[in-house]
């Protein structure tokens, strides 16, 4: 059995058989791992290292082929306690954790993803912005799309190749761009037609028209180009514009990112964020089907 050391950020911890905990974490060199922390409920040997968001150096072992590792030690590096003291921050950080649980590879190194996640948690903990920071959520999603290899084309209109810069310079404030999630881009108002395929999928989205402001698309670009902290410092779009951009982000994930379905992220319930995804209808039990 191989003993490993790695940096880990706790994503989820659940009690197991009264005395133990099962902890899922994002690690720098082994991706997403799940470990059994024996006797971690009463004993203090793990300190706060198993609380959600805690970043620690883990010592763990894993039998070949086994899914569950065994955690022997965890030395805390950063507890991110500030995230647990503020409800909005806690809710947003939980959404970040939920995204990592869906997307992180298992058993593979993912240093870029690890850095993104720790930078986002650090920025969120230190931020003094009131309320849920929707722009930060969008920057995080932009970076995940990029990491996944699904970076959209945001510089030019997909049809006439009009540039975003020109639209921003000459545009009237109410100009909106039509988003085409399937094509991972947008079309300008001149190219918007009755046939514009705003959304190709059947149902699923509450709004068949996904429109965003050029300013929000520019922020999206900054989110792809710059570290989260820098993007947040120069973001220009309003909260409402970021709400619209969030719907486009969701659609991009549903269309392009494997492992993503049409279920809205659970953590969104605690944030003042509107999802355009609807849970898929649950079929009624067989005995309740109307008689033909
Ligand atoms: Zn155009």
Over the stretch 171-223, which tens digit does the pLDDT of each residue have?
665 688 988 888 899 988 888 776 555 444 444 443 446 889 999 999 999 99
CA of residue 178 to ligand 1 center, whole Å: 10
253: tokens are 């994930």
pTM of the prediction? 0.89
3-state secondary structure of 124: helix
CA of residue 176 to ligand 1 center, whole Å: 12
Over the stretch 32-45, which tens digit does the pLDDT of each residue have?
999 999 999 888 88
CATH architecture of the domain covering 2-103: Beta Barrel (2.40)
C-beta of residue 72 within 8 angstroms of C-beta of residue 60: yes
Examine the pLDDT at 288 and tell me if it is beyond 60: no
Cβ burial 87-99 (10 Å sphere, 16+ → b, else e): ebbbbbbbbbbbb
CA of residue 284 to ligand 1 center, whole Å: 45
CA of residue 157 to ligand 1 center, whole Å: 5
Q: What is the pLDDT of residue 269?
A: 86
Examine the pLDDT at 266 and tell me if it is beyond 90: no
CA of residue 192 to ligand 1 center, whole Å: 7
CA of residue 162 to ligand 1 center, whole Å: 5
C-alpha 271/C-alpha 132 separation (Å) is 7
Lowest mean pLDDT among 5-14, 79-88, 240-249, 283-292: 283-292
C-alpha 187/C-alpha 215 separation (Å) is 14
C-alpha 58/C-alpha 9 separation (Å) is 9
CA of residue 54 to ligand 1 center, whole Å: 47
CA of residue 78 to ligand 1 center, whole Å: 48
CA of residue 72 to ligand 1 center, whole Å: 58
CB hemisphere CA count around 149 (13 angstroms): 1
Could you tell me where the DSSP H helices lie in 34-154?
81-84, 87-103, 111-126, 134-147
Q: What is the pLDDT of residue 84?
A: 92
Examine the pLDDT at 291 and tell me if it is beyond 50: no
Q: What is the pLDDT of residue 204?
A: 43
CB atoms near residue 212 (< 10 Å) = 24
- Please state the rounded mean pLDDT for residues 272-284: 67
Pairing of strands 55-62, 68-78: antiparallel
C-alpha 79/C-alpha 226 separation (Å) is 26
In the DSSP assignment, the letter for residue 269 is G
Q: What is the pLDDT of residue 43?
A: 82
C-alpha 127/C-alpha 82 separation (Å) is 10
C-alpha 116/C-alpha 127 separation (Å) is 16
Angstrom CA distances, 256 to 150, 151, 152, 223, 261, stand at 7, 10, 10, 18, 10
With tokens 């993912």, the residue in question is 110
C-beta of residue 231 within 8 angstroms of C-beta of residue 208: no
Q: What is the 3-state secondary structure (H, E, C) of 254-284?
A: HHHCCCCCCCCCHHHHHCCCCCCECCCCCCC
Residues in the chain: 292
> What is the band of 267 on the pLDDT scale with cuts at 50, 70, 90?
confident
Over the stretch 156-165, which tens digit does the pLDDT of each residue have?
999 899 899 8
C-alpha 29/C-alpha 25 separation (Å) is 12
Per domain, the residue ranges of the chain are 2-103, 135-270
C-alpha 206/C-alpha 268 separation (Å) is 16
């Amino acid at each position: 059995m191989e003993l490993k050391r790695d940096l880990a950020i706790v994503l989820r911890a659940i009690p197991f058989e009264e005395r133990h905990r099962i902890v899922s974490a994002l690690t720098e060199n082994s991706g997403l791992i799940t470990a059994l922390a024996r006797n971690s409920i009463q004993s203090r040997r793990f300190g706060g290292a198993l609380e959600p968001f805690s970043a620690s150096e883990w010592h763990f072992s894993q039998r070949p082929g086994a899914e569950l590792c065994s955690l022997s030690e965890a030395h805390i590096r950063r507890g991110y306690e500030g995230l647990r003291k503020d409800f909005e921050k806690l809710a947003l950080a939980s959404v970040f954790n939920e995204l990592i649980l869906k997307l992180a590879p298992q058993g593979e190194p993912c240093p870029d993803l690890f850095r993104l996640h720790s930078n986002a948690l650090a920025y969120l903990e230190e931020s003094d912005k009131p309320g849920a920071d929707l722009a930060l959520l969008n920057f995080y999603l932009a970076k995940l799309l990029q990491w996944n290899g699904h970076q959209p084309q945001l510089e030019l209109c997909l049809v006439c190749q009009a540039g975003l810069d020109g639209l921003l310079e000459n545009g009237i404030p109410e100009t909106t761009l039509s988003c085409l999630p399937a094509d991972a881009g947008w079309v300008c108002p001149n190219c918007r037609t009755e046939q514009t395929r705003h959304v190709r999928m059947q149902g699923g989205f509450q709004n068949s028209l996904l429109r965003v402001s050029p300013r929000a698309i520019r922020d999206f670009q900054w989110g792809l180009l710059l570290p989260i902290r820098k993007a947040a410092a120069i973001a220009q779009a309003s909260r409402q514009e970021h709400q619209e951009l969030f719907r486009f982000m969701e659609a991009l994930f549903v269309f392009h990112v494997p492992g993503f379905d049409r279920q809205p992220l659970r953590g969104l319930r605690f944030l003042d964020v509107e999802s355009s995804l609807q849970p898929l209808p649950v079929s009624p039990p067989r005995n309740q089907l109307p008689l033909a």
